[in-house]
Amino acid sequence: MKTLMSLLLLVSVALITGCGDSSTPKAPATGASSKDVLAGKLVLTGSSTVAPLVTELGKRFEKLHPGVRIDVQTGGSSRGIADARSGVADLGQVSRSLKDDEKDLRAFTIALDGVCVILNKDNAVKELSDKQVIDIYLGKIANWKDVGGKDAPITVVNKAEGTSTLELFCHYYKLKPNDIKAHVIIVDNQQGIKTVAGNANSIGYVSIGSAEYESSHGVAIKLLPVGGVDASMANVKAHTFPLMRELNLVTKLEEPTGVKKAFLDFCTSKEANESIKELFFVPIKE
């Protein structure tokens, strides 16, 4: 009987040890892939130009790491900077390089892009000089017939405050945002493209990557040269386009760890190139 009781006790101990607590994380086996254990959520906010790209990269990253969720929100590069600083977001989306007063943040460049002027596809105007663009946005030229188009009033589409696209556009054309005579204010690239595609007499400016992508998919817009250089990602890649910019993810200065580090490593690796090219941006690493 004593032998039988001892045997039953040993079996019970073995079963308890084998089952364990399913809620307790187990250490990964030696050589296990990090995608087997990586879990958590990242919140990204900011640039509407960067948002579609990191959304696509986020989907691919989630497939590699089923325990991870990537939440992408827009609101402009200024929001990306503010949210990264305050910790509201894990990463800020910023479609420009960091300024001198933003050196408390660290930027991870994931792609290159440009900003170009767009017109409706049916507009007869094929090119505008820098001076003509300036005069249109200042309200000095108000009819398309004055720049070789038909007799029709020009609808000026402008970006909202807080977007890096507005900052870059004004910097290149030496405009002050308050001097622009806009008829329509838009927040993101898609809204700008939709507005110009739906209004034959409008003019706007957006990301080249976004504009090339939509144009190639049948949206009724066309990209105008800037400074005599065709607006194309090929020229951005060749560094010949005059209005270029970095697409960045920004975070606080301390070294990223965990899910944040893994996602940044993925976004800045060659693995991300397929998604970057599909959305008509230029990869950093070839």
Residue with token string 């090929």: 234
- pLDDT of 2 above 90: no
Sketch out the chain's domains with CATH numbers.
Answer: 40-113+246-283 (3.40.190.10), 114-237 (3.40.190.10)
More confident: 3 or 91: 91
Confidence of residue 3 (pLDDT cuts 50, 70, 90): very low
| Res 246: pLDDT | 96
Average pLDDT over every residue of 142-158: 98
